[in-house]
């Protein structure tokens, strides 16, 4: 019975991705906004990854999402500009690969991925929140943890949805 419980717990935890954030917020340029475009420039991600952001933000926000990596058909910048107009977005949250590295040696080596996560005011085209998100190699920044970090940093307000509060490593 202990073996089954251990295997079940291990299976559940393998789906959890923990993300560490190193953030910087420019409080002097923090705009008021309610419409967000989330842009993923990460190639080879899970098909539903970017669309998890649609329901991760507090209900006070209207969220659109687009995949605009180098694997997207068409010019990624043109796709983003079209989506900004279509959604009438005020700010843009961009997720893009930054760096991969290995820590340790031999059997103790562990791979990590870093992502630049940045929120930009589309009226001024200047970023007001930046983060380096560090994940275990091969995984992407956790959607729920990213939204909670934006809330902790005072970038967004409002109550997080019940599912995100109850399961901190969800999504």
Q: Residue 101 falls within a domain, yes or no?
A: yes
Q: Residue 55 falls within a domain, yes or no?
A: yes
pLDDT tens digits for 120-169? 999 999 999 999 998 887 788 999 999 999 999 999 998 876 555 434 44
* Residue 39 near residue 94, CB atoms below 8 Å: yes
| pLDDT exceeds 70 at position 76 | yes
| pLDDT exceeds 50 at position 8 | no
Mean residue pLDDT across the chain: 82
DSSP per-residue letters across 61-127: SEEEEEE-STTSSS-HHHHHHHHHHHHT-SEEEEEEEEEEEEES-GGG-EEEEEEEEEEEETTTTEE
The pLDDT of residue 17 = 58
Q: Residue 146 falls within a domain, yes or no?
A: yes
Q: How many domains does the chain have?
A: 1
Q: Residue 1 falls within a domain, yes or no?
A: no
Q: Residue 8 falls within a domain, yes or no?
A: no
| pLDDT exceeds 90 at position 72 | no
The pLDDT of residue 170 = 38
User: Is the entire prediction scored with pTM above 0.85?
Assistant: no
CA distance 113 to 41: 14
Rg of the chain over Cα atoms, rounded to whole angstroms, equals 17
Check which CATH number belongs to the domain holding 84 and give it. 3.40.50
Q: Residue 9 falls within a domain, yes or no?
A: no
Residue 85 belongs to what domain range? Answer: 17-166
E strand or H helix at 147: helix 143-152
Q: Residue 64 falls within a domain, yes or no?
A: yes
Q: Residue 90 falls within a domain, yes or no?
A: yes
């Amino acid at each position: 019975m202990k073996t089954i419980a251990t295997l079940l717990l291990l299976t559940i935890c393998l789906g959890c991705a923990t993300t560490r954030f190193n953030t910087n917020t420019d409080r002097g340029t923090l705009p008021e906004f309610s419409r967000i475009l989330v842009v993923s420039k990460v190639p080879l991600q899970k098909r539903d990854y970017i669309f998890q952001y649609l329901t991760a933000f507090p209900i006070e926000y209207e969220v659109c999402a687009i995949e605009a990596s180098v694997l997207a058909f068409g010019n990624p910048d043109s796709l983003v500009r079209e989506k900004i107009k279509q959604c009438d977005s005020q700010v843009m949250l961009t997720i893009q690969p930054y760096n991969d590295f290995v820590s340790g040696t031999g059997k103790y080596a562990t791979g990590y991925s870093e992502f630049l996560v940045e929120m930009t005011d589309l009226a001024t085209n200047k970023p007001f929140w930046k983060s380096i998100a560090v994940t275990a190699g091969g995984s992407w920044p956790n959607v729920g943890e990213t939204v909670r970090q934006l809330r902790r940093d005072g970038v967004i307000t409002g109550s997080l949805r019940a599912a995100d509060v109850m399961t901190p490593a969800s999504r």
